[in-house]
Amino acid sequence: MTENNIEKAKKRLDSVFDAFSIVADDTYVFLCDMKYDYSRWSKALVETFNLPSEYMYEAGKIWEEHIHPDDRQAYKEGIDAVFSGKQAGHDIQYRAKLPNGEYAICTCRGLVIKDNDGNSEYFGGAIRNHSQKSQIDTLTGLRNQYGFFADLASYIRNKTPIHIGMIGIARLTEINEVYGYDVGNKILQNVGRYLMDKVTNRGGTYRLDGSRFAVITTVQTEDEFAGQYEKFRANYRKGVCIDDMDILLELQAGMLSLNDFNVDTETVYSCLTYAYQQSKLKQHGDLVKFRNDLMGNNRQTLAKLHEIRASITQDFAGYYLLYQPIVDASTEKLIGVEALLRWKNDEYGVVPPDMFIPFLETDPIFPVLGDWIIETALRDTKELNKYVPDAVVHVNLSYSQMEKAGFSDTIWNLLEKVEFAPNQLSLEITERCRLLDMDLLRNVIVTLRAGGVRIALDDFGTGFSSLGLVKNLPFDTIKIDRSFVQHIETDEREKKLLNNCTNLAGNFGADVCVEGVETSGMRDIIKDYGIHSFQGYYYSKPIPIEELLEKVKSGRDCFAK
Ligand code: C2E
Ligand code: CA
Ligand code: CA
């Protein structure tokens, strides 16, 4: 072959290649001039798999080296069939080796293109790498959640200050049900386009999932951003015209300003999600800023949460449990304990759970911590059982733990592993579990109770739907919140309320535990209301397990007054 011919062939290869290389970002293209066995492969593929060049002679042989030994034979046979003219194309799946030694599952589809004389001229096609997640949302054309995380990581790496907004359409599920998915999709496209028009050249717009979008801006101030959200909201409140229908939309949004770069993307995402949830659940869609509205000091909070979150993967460093005694209301003997989570390190000292659990509970990593809490509580209480054989340990749950498939199996496995009697474990849930699907919640509770585990409703009286929950779900214990009895010594109304609560609980066959008993005066009053157990500083603050064990050595009435 002459230099000239090769140049011509190369030019033609390039022009054909360019024509069909307009594809999605997780698909690579290859084109081979079969006469010379000379190929051009997508740059992205060459980089991802560390191939010698975009232009290769005998590319098939080079690629073969990357294919998993078990898949190599099939690949070779396929390629031979194409080059010998036996097959007009191929469609196979194999594993191809990445530079880090891992294998990516790839699908390769190719076709032979013949010249005017019927001879095989080109072999071209696409390789799809299934391990590479697309960063584009197909419905809106915006970057998706993977794109969001990739960009966020790069802003953090480059220490670029940004404001991030998470914006969602309220009740999109209902809209889908009423108007159909097609209309729902058009709304998403419309909102996506609106956001993109407003943020172009000023950062990025992303579709995260379902009805949620994100925007990242590098140039706007916080106030500009907030102002823009209000306009955006007003615009959609007036209605959006889809298929000749005016559909009124409500939005909700959270925002976070990032100027501390000692954090990871997941922590930022959890905090942003938290602000968004507040907007959705408590603020009727008003913009909730993570910084000012929630914690005061954003800088410290983000860095702190980053540490606290990272500790989960560092063998739970800094996490520990304290135990607060629960005593029988009439005998004041110890009948159980509540396990309460703490985290501490040298820099931040002891951080109470209210400071971090609400931010982390929607984080996918939270259930890992949740399992650790349950297992640790069971192990510690086994020790306690040596002195108080029937002590019940109360463990707090987050609604996100219960939502995870196989949650009850997790509980059975932990109980078996620690050899712990199910009826000595009481799982406390709060009214926040109303965020879950009621059927799912009932299923979990019924399954757990059928296996002997007790279920307690925590913080009764603080949520709006506690009454509905008591009516619909079977609880073994109802824990009356501290705020209900705080002024019981002076406030007649609190006495009436307490009376109503205990009657109600009694009707549903549940025990009542009153939390936050701080004085003998409180105890004396509350005692008369048919209460089953007490918990509060009057008996003991939460203490380490060692201290608790030391105390119960002298008998189970060690906390009696
Ligand atoms: P909670 O479940 O209602 O726990 C009772 C809280 O009231 C504890 O605060 C306890 O120290 C405090 N307390 C108990 N007796 C008294 C009293 O007489 N007076 C006063 N003023 N306070 C009293 P803590 O330990 O800070 O926990 C706060 C909340 O954090 C808990 O409220 C619970 O919702 C959550 N939490 C704690 N540990 C865990 C956990 O392991 N998992 C989950 N998901 N949440 C947890
Ligand atoms: Ca509790
Ligand atoms: Ca409580």
pLDDT in tens, 376-413: 999 999 999 999 999 999 999 998 899 888 999 999 99
What is the per-residue pLDDT for 298?
Answer: 56
What is the per-residue pLDDT for 66?
Answer: 95
CATH number 3.30.450.20 given to 3-129 = yes
Ligand 1 lined by 508 (C-beta under 6 Å): no
Give the fold, CATH level 3, of 316-553: TIM Barrel (3.20.20)
What is the per-residue pLDDT for 172?
Answer: 93
Which residue's C-alpha comes closest to atom 27 of ligand 1? 353
Using 50, 70 and 90 to split pLDDT, how confident is the model at 23?
A: low
Does the pLDDT at position 336 exceed 90? yes
What is the per-residue pLDDT for 399?
Answer: 87
Relative to the alpha carbon of 479, which ligand is closest? 3
What is the per-residue pLDDT for 69?
Answer: 94
- pLDDT above 90 covers a percentage of the chain that reads 61
Residues 365 and 313: beta-carbon distance below 8 Å = yes
Report how far ligand 2's centroid is from the alpha carbon of 454 (Å): 13
pLDDT in tens, 500-520: 888 888 888 899 999 999 999
Q: % helix / strand / coil in the chain, to the nearest 5?
A: 45, 25, 30
Q: Helices 265-281 and 145-157: crossing angle, nearest 10°? A: 120
Mean of per-residue pLDDT scores for the chain? 90
Report how far ligand 3's centroid is from the alpha carbon of 361 (Å): 17
Report how far ligand 2's centroid is from the alpha carbon of 268 (Å): 27
CATH architecture of residue range(s) 145-290: 2-Layer Sandwich (3.30)
Report the distance separating Cα 510 and Cα 335, nearest Å: 16
- Three-class DSSP labels, 27-67: EEEEEEECCCCEEEECHHHHHHHCCCCCEEECHHHHHHHHE
pLDDT in tens, 436-477: 888 889 999 999 999 999 999 998 877 666 777 888 889 999
Residues 257 and 251: beta-carbon distance below 8 Å = no
- Our mutation pick for probing the ligand 1 site, out of 351, 483, 515, counting the most ligand atoms within 8 A of Cβ, is 515
Mean pLDDT along residues 213-228: 91
Report the distance separating Cα 89 and Cα 539, nearest Å: 79
What is the per-residue pLDDT for 25?
Answer: 56
H helices of 345-481, in order, are: 357-360, 366-385, 399-403, 407-418, 438-450, 466-472
Does the pLDDT at position 292 exceed 50? no
Ligand 1 lined by 522 (C-beta under 6 Å): no
Report how far ligand 3's centroid is from the alpha carbon of 556 (Å): 23
Report the distance separating Cα 551 and Cα 383, nearest Å: 13
Q: What are the C-alpha distances in Å from 41 to residues 9, 27, 33, 51, 96? A: 15, 11, 12, 9, 15
What is the per-residue pLDDT for 361?
Answer: 87
Ligand 1 lined by 398 (C-beta under 6 Å): yes
What is the per-residue pLDDT for 318?
Answer: 96
The token pair at 165 is 């907004």
Does the pLDDT at position 344 exceed 80? yes
pLDDT in tens, 517-547: 999 999 999 998 989 999 999 999 999 999 9
State the DSSP code for 481.
P
Report the distance separating Cα 129 and Cα 95, nearest Å: 9
Using 50, 70 and 90 to split pLDDT, how confident is the model at 26?
A: low
Report how far ligand 3's centroid is from the alpha carbon of 357 (Å): 14
Residues 343 and 354: beta-carbon distance below 8 Å = no
What is the per-residue pLDDT for 255?
Answer: 94
Does the pLDDT at position 293 exceed 50? no
What is the per-residue pLDDT for 469?
Answer: 82
Ligand 1 lined by 64 (C-beta under 6 Å): no
Q: Which atom of ligand 1 is nearest to the CA of 373?
A: 41
Cβ atoms < 10 Å from Cβ of 503: 12
User: Which range among 108-112, 282-286, 498-502 has the greatest average pLDDT?
Assistant: 108-112
What is the per-residue pLDDT for 477?
Answer: 95
Which residue's C-alpha comes closest to atom 33 of ligand 1? 396
User: Which range among 194-208, 229-243, 432-446 has the greatest average pLDDT?
Assistant: 229-243
- pLDDT above 70 covers a percentage of the chain that reads 95
Does the pLDDT at position 490 exceed 50? yes
Report how far ligand 3's centroid is from the alpha carbon of 483 (Å): 10
Specify whether the backbone of 50 is left (phi greater than 0), alpha (psi in -120 to 50) or beta: left
For the chain, what are the domain ranges?
3-129, 145-290, 316-553
